[in-house]
Amino acid sequence: MSTLYVVPTPIGNLEDITLRALRVLKEADFILAEDTRTTGQLLKHYEISNQLISHHIHNEHKSVERIVDQIKASKSAAIVSDAGTPSISDPGFLLVRACIENDINVVCLPGASAIIPAIVGCGFPCDSFIFEGFLPHKKGRQTKWKAIAEESRSVILYESPHRLVKALKEMIEFLAPDRQVCVAREISKMYETFHRGTAQELLTYFEETPPKGEIVIVISAKTKANKND
Enumerate the domain spans of the chain.
3-108, 115-226
pLDDT of residue 225: 60
pLDDT of residue 226: 58
If the chain, 229 residues long, is cut into consecutive pieces of 10 residues, what is the mean pLDDT of each piece?
A: 95 94 96 94 95 84 89 93 91 93 96 94 94 92 95 96 96 95 96 96 96 96 65
Q: Which residues contact 65 (CB under 8 A, 6 or more apart)?
A: 98
Q: Which residues contact 44 (CB under 8 A, 6 or more apart)?
A: none
Which is nearest to 76 in space by CA: 36, 30, 26, 7?
30
CATH class of domain segment(s) 115-226: alpha beta
Q: What are the strands of the beta sheet with 129-134, ordered from one edge?
A: 129-134, 154-159, 215-219, 180-185, 193-198
pLDDT of residue 90: 85
Quote the pTM value.
0.88
- The conformational region for residue 194 under phi > 0 = left, psi -120 to 50 = alpha, else beta, is beta
- Determine the Cα–Cα distance for residues 89 and 158; give it in Å rounded to an integer: 9
Other beta carbons within 10 Å of 98: 17
- Determine the Cα–Cα distance for residues 151 and 204; give it in Å rounded to an integer: 25
CATH class of domain segment(s) 3-108: alpha beta
Which is nearest to 161 in space by CA: 125, 135, 185, 137?
185
pLDDT of residue 224: 65
Which is nearest to 80 in space by CA: 29, 25, 118?
25
